[in-house]
């Protein structure tokens, strides 16, 4: 089995990489992509094939095809996990670095464009005709944040909403690939450690990885967790817009 994971040097991506490396046999290849070669080296010690790359650089991403081809003719599972979260601070919007447009661009670049470049890279490896016994799988990392108008999440929520639409449209155009959208709630990672607000139903990276792996194995097109929190967000997102906005403003206070 040939597996590729982006954003593999920390958080959910690292937990997923460690899971699949622990399950791998001598015929398996687990490709891990991240910016830090030092962190990638830790996964190399466990048998991973590291590909250091800044995913915001399209040509650098596409150039990885040559390195993948040296080890694998095709890919069976791709998990596009890399991303970032930058909040908008309305009270500081006079700062150019925190302007709404700047925050939107940074989030969309990190969460959507990097994914698009990676999809350009992996699609030929996923669609290549081989003697597969199962359909190849493509997993996109979204967020429950895209279902409800949370304060300061204009950039992050917009980028993850775009990922959700992207996943659904890929499911339509590539029926030969099992495309899954992952929408986690709060997961304790170096990224969420920066949050200064209470994070309800917080789960560990191992719990997140377990939920994602289970969803992938069951060919779920939508993987949402934790269960109760995701149900609450789903209900909130189904309310009339006026009621959503009323609740969101109350939550902000």
DSSP per-residue codes, 35-63:
S-HHHHHHHHTTT-EEEE--TT-HHHHHT
Quote the CA–CA distance of 83 and 113 in Å, as a whole number.
10
pLDDT of residue 96: 67
Alpha-carbon distances of 63 from 6, 71, 221, rounded to whole Å: 15, 15, 29
Pairing, β 49-52 against β 77-80: unpaired
Q: What are phi and psi for residue 125, nearest 5 degrees?
A: -75, -25
Q: Is 159 helix (H, G, I), strand (E, B) or coil?
A: helix
Q: In the numeric block, which tokens belong to residue 90?
A: 């309305």
- In the chain, which residues have pLDDT < 70? 92-94, 96, 130, 253
Give me the residues paired with residue 5 across strands.
Answer: 32, 79
Q: Pairing mode, if any, of strands 2-6 and 77-80?
A: parallel
Identify the CA nearest to 225 among candidates 193, 202, 244, 242.
202
Query: Whose structure tokens read 């339509």?
Result: 172
Contact (CB, 8 A) for 118 and 55: yes
DSSP 3-state of 93: coil
Structurally, at CATH architecture level, domain 2-252 sits in 3-Layer(aba) Sandwich (3.40)
pLDDT of residue 253: 67
Q: Are residues 21 and 48 in contact, defined by beta-carbon separation less than 8 angstroms?
A: yes
Residue 43 has a CB neighbour count (10 Å cut-off) of: 22
Structure tokens at 199: 């994070």
Q: Note the pLDDT of residue 170.
A: 98
| Encoded tokens for 209 | 């990885």
- Give me the pLDDT at residue 197, please: 80
pLDDT for the residue numbered 251: 87
Name, in order, each residue with C-beta under 8 angstroms of 188's C-beta and a sequence gap of 6 or more.
202, 203, 204, 205
Nearest to 163 by CA among 148, 177, 176, 182: 182
* Alpha-helical runs (H) found in 63-113: 64-71, 100-108
């Amino acid at each position: 089995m040939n597996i590729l994971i982006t954003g593999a040097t920390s958080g959910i991506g690292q937990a997923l990489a460690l899971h699949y490396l622990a399950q791998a046999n001598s015929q398996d290849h687990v490709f891990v992509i991240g910016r830090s070669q030092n962190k990638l080296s830790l996964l190399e010690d466990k048998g991973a094939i590291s590909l250091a790359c800044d995913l915001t650089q399209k040509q650098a991403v596409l150039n990885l095809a040559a390195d993948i081809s040296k080890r694998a003719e095709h890919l069976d599972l791709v998990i596009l996990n890399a991303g970032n979260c930058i909040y908008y601070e309305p009270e500081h919007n006079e700062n150019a670095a925190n302007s709404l447009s700047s925050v939107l661009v940074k989030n969309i670049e990190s969460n959507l464009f990097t994914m698009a470049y990676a999809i350009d890279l992996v699609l030929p490896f996923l669609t290549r005709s081989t003697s597969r016994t199962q359909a190849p799988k493509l997993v996109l990392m979204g967020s429950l944040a895209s279902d409800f108008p949370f304060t300061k999440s204009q950039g992050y929520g917009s980028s993850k909403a775009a990922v959700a639409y992207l996943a659904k449209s890929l499911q339509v155009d590539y029926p030969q690939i099992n495309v899954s959208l992952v929408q986690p709630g709060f997961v304790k990672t170096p990224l969420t450690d920066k949050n200064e607000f209470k994070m309800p139903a917080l789960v560990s990276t191992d719990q997140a990885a377990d939920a994602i792996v289970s969803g992938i194995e069951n060919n779920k097109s939508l993987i949402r967790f934790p269960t109760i929190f995701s149900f609450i967000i789903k209900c909130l997102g189904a309310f009339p817009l006026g009621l959503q906005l009323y609740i969101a403003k109350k939550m902000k206070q």
